[in-house]
Structure 1
Amino acid sequence: MAVINGGLFSTLSGFYDEVSSVLMKDTDWKVGTLDGFDDILYGGFGVFENKDEVELIWKDAEKSKNELGFESTRDFYQHKINQGKPFNTELIQQKLDELMAGNGQTLFDILIEIIESHKNITLILE
């Protein structure tokens, strides 16, 4: 069992710090991207191995849902568009447009989707 404490962060980088400390004990590598977060959920980087059954509890999930919601997602996409290369700005603009139209995923939604794509991980939102 692993516990992500939503009370300890309010930004995506804070989330990365939290999951790094929870899921990657005794490693000198830290999560810094959505792809990196997905990678560690395959296991073998810290507290569990590949295919281990893992229960992941996300405490204060409602707080995280709000703080990693519309505004932070809009800022996340806008920052990538402003940076340009190496990001696919057309795709990111499409995601931003979907968000602005009320149809896109927030960062919280994306993180949940990443976790749920790993069938060996049971997510519990508290």
Structure 2
Amino acid sequence: MTATYVIDGREVTGLDRFWQVIGEAVNGPGGYFGTNLDAFADCLSGGYGTPPDGDFVIEWRHHEASRRALGHDETVRRLDERLQKAHPSNRPAVQADRDRAAAGEGPTVFDWLVDIIEAQAPGRLRLE
């Protein structure tokens, strides 16, 4: 039987809140399902609360609310953080991404999350 994990997009007010919402959807109150993009990708690969056979669906209700909360403003914030930690050789690329986000262009945090889900759990995301 397919496990369904429901995210209420109205509860997602930023990336930190997304980590809480997805953690609780999969593993209950206080549950963990990643706290950064790499950890999230790992969790989607199995062993962190999803069924061992990978038979699950993430149902992201009211995803448009999340799309707004995880839009270009949140993307700029996250890229600013990344710039602080980036290796000097990577800073120009991160800065270029940050500048595009500040101009309201390019992929957003919401897009990053959707792309990770589609890459790690193809066909298991339902945007409602």
Note the C-alpha offset of 1:122.
1.7
Is residue 2:111 matched to residue 1:96? no
Provide the residue aligned with 1:123 in structure 2. Answer: 125
Which whole-Å deviations, capped at 9, do the CAs of 1:58-117 have from their partners, x for residues lacking one?
011000001100111111111222x23568433321221333455421000110100111
Would the alpha carbon gap of residues 19 and 86 (structure 1) be closer, same or farther in structure 2, given more than 3 Å must change?
A: farther
Q: Take 2:127 and 2:45, find their aligned partners in 1: how far apart are those partners?
A: 20
Provide the residue aligned with 2:8 in structure 1. Answer: 5
Q: Take 2:87 and 2:45, find their aligned partners in 1: how far apart are those partners?
A: 25
Provide the residue aligned with 1:20 in structure 2. Answer: 23
Provide the residue aligned with 1:57 in structure 2. Answer: 59
Report the AA paired with residue 98 of structure 2: L
Would the alpha carbon gap of residues 26 and 12 (structure 1) be closer, same or farther in structure 2, given more than 3 Å must change?
A: closer
Matches within 5 A, 1:7-86: 7-25=10-28, 29=32, 31-49=34-52, 51-81=53-83, 83-85=84-86
- Ranges in structure 2 where 5+ consecutive residues have no aligned partner: none
Would the alpha carbon gap of residues 115 and 4 (structure 1) be closer, same or farther in structure 2, given more than 3 Å must change?
A: same
In the TM superposition, structure 1's runs of 4+ consecutive aligned residues that sit over 4 Å from their partners are 25-30
Q: Take 2:109 and 2:36, find their aligned partners in 1: how far apart are those partners?
A: 12
Q: Take 1:102 and 1:28, find their aligned partners in 2: how far apart are those partners?
A: 33
How large is the RMSD of aligned CA atoms in angstroms?
2.5
User: Normalized against structure 1, the TM-score is what?
Assistant: 0.82
**Percent of residue pairs bearing the same amino acid type:** 29
User: Normalized against structure 2, the TM-score is what?
Assistant: 0.81
SS at match of 2:111: helix
Q: Take 2:26 and 2:54, find their aligned partners in 1: how far apart are those partners?
A: 13
Would the alpha carbon gap of residues 79 and 26 (structure 1) be closer, same or farther in structure 2, given more than 3 Å must change?
A: closer
